[in-house]
A and B are shown apart, each in its own frame.
Chain A
């Protein structure tokens, strides 16, 4: 009675959202991701991946959802989570890629015992002993190892110039890269943080060249990565670039001419447009048809994570705690890799390095790294 009253009240007060009428039997998996603001690009991929899985209703398994924007602040994310949890039968939440938003939502998820399925790379979120966070994208602790190892072991480069973004994504990756390069015996000859609004990369390129590195390692968001690569190509720096995951995104490559991309590599969890398996190719085709956009690894990872939740629901896990248990103990064969928790909620343990050959905007997977 109380619950019905409460639901009715919300319905009247919010004047919103038709999906609220969902019957009590239907389980729900709300999608809380940043679709506006600075992380809108990655958040939109995340939304698309989750929505794709949920709309597919694999094996007839259905979970109701609505998409709520978490914008750019932890506060908005917490509001979105409280709003989602005010509805009945929430068994899991597809949660933001933005680290500080995850850190703010996690204590609430633990208190209310609802698992968060995310692709945030911030290492810290699985280091806090929170049993309700599940990450389907390889953490910085995995991909940054791959990025550093590729530079040192495959490219045989030892004088690294590191350029990172002064954002959660950039600073978190920068710390891991520094550690890894030190461990691998490479020298950081140049290092600088850039605000996301920076337009002209010439000053940083000038200083970087003066430090005489033999490789450039980037940890920048999509737009700045493209700006950097474009201006580096124009300034005839002729240095190999091993970028962060932003460079694998088709929307980043779309900003550049294929020739500008020659010799540019990136780390990622996967690269759907590079193909590799019939299932992945089918996914890519379906994604293009549904969203009129190119899928990236974020979309795939959130798709895989959402599918694992749906898989668990299909196997009878119709409550949040059962879904959590299934995620914590089970294993799932996804498009990008096989996911299994390492005990702290890290589900993805493989990373890939993709490279562009200079004649196409579709990269090739050149190296796979498995953490274990």
Chain B
């Protein structure tokens, strides 16, 4: 394989990894806030994809304009998710939330199937089609826009969490709910907002993925699995780790698969996952202390 092809594959991995990073980020935010895995997270990404398909059908504007709208509507869905599947189960062991989010995931998947049909659908491009050619390398506008949009969203999330009053309260709730409550933070509200933020990020990822990779009702499960792997490889509860984990998964899908076959690359990814777990049980970056749910 020549160097040019390799660089091209790495570019692909970056675009795919950028979208996966948004998925993993939303996933890890909910884990931090609740200690529970949100099994509907992949279905939130899928919902965001179909939402952008529907909006693009109604409003003939580029995806980048739709992005805030999709994120806002998905945030409302996130609030609904927390109200239906998390808040009633707050005092129960995390496994109850597993099941409740599985139930919501089933509902989302089959609602999409009933409303949009089973056929894959193509989402709107972020900023028009076309490709940029640079000495044999092609960086299509969609990939470039995916990377840019994801970086902006990751940075915005980081700023929200570290530099705003509400973000600080959300983090305080995630780190020590008892203490946060004692300090007057309304933790239930903060957790609901975390769900909203996670759903908004998932929806954005759905829009980003939908154009190049299409969206189908049944794809939520595999996206959730990717987020789960990313979060564990990167280090449970770490935001930066989740991003690294997501990029690693994309690297396997886009680059390692070119050297091995796709099924073998997938098997090797799981082997790497198991080795990471056995050798470094705290993930690549290590675990945030006391974050084991």
| A residues neighboring B (CB under 8 Å) | 35-38, 40-41, 43-44, 166, 192-195, 197-200, 202-204, 206-207, 210, 222-223, 226-227, 234-235, 251, 254-255, 293
B214 touches A226 (CB 8 A): yes
Partner of A40, one of B121, B217, B257: B217
Cβ of B16 within 8 Å of any chain A Cβ, yes or no, is yes
Chain B residue numbers with a CB within 8 Å of A255 are 120-122, 214
Known: A36-B110, A199-B253. A206 touches B258 (CB 8 A): yes
Chain B residue numbers with a CB within 8 Å of A200 are 12-13, 16, 213, 250, 253-254, 257
Give the size category of B's interface with A: 35 or more
B254 touches A37 (CB 8 A): no
| 11 additional contacts (CB under 8 A) given A198-B262, A255-B120 | A35-B113, A43-B118, A44-B117, A44-B118, A197-B219, A202-B254, A202-B258, A206-B8, A207-B258, A234-B140, A293-B117
| B residues neighboring A (CB under 8 Å) | 1, 5, 8-9, 12-13, 16, 109-110, 113, 117-122, 131, 138, 140, 209, 213-214, 216-219, 222, 250, 253-258, 261-263, 265-266
B12 touches A202 (CB 8 A): yes
The 9 closest A-B pairs by CB, nearest first: A40-B118, A203-B258, A223-B120, A251-B119, A203-B257, A41-B118, A197-B222, A199-B213, A200-B254
B118 touches A193 (CB 8 A): no
Chain A residue numbers with a CB within 8 Å of B255 are 203
Chain A residue numbers with a CB within 8 Å of B265 are 203
Chain B residue numbers with a CB within 8 Å of A197 are 219, 222
B263 touches A199 (CB 8 A): no
Chain B residue numbers with a CB within 8 Å of A222 are 119-120
Complex CA distance for A24 and B171, rounded to whole angstroms: 66
Complex CA distance for A254 and B216, rounded to whole angstroms: 14
Chain B residue numbers with a CB within 8 Å of A192 are 261-262
Which among B214, B217, B256, B265 has the greatest number of chain A C-beta atoms within 10 A?
B214
Known: A226-B214, A227-B214. A40 touches B113 (CB 8 A): yes
Chain B residue numbers with a CB within 8 Å of A204 are 257-258, 262
Partner of A226, one of B5, B109, B120: B120
A38 touches B1 (CB 8 A): no
Known: A227-B213, A255-B120, A255-B214. A166 touches B263 (CB 8 A): yes
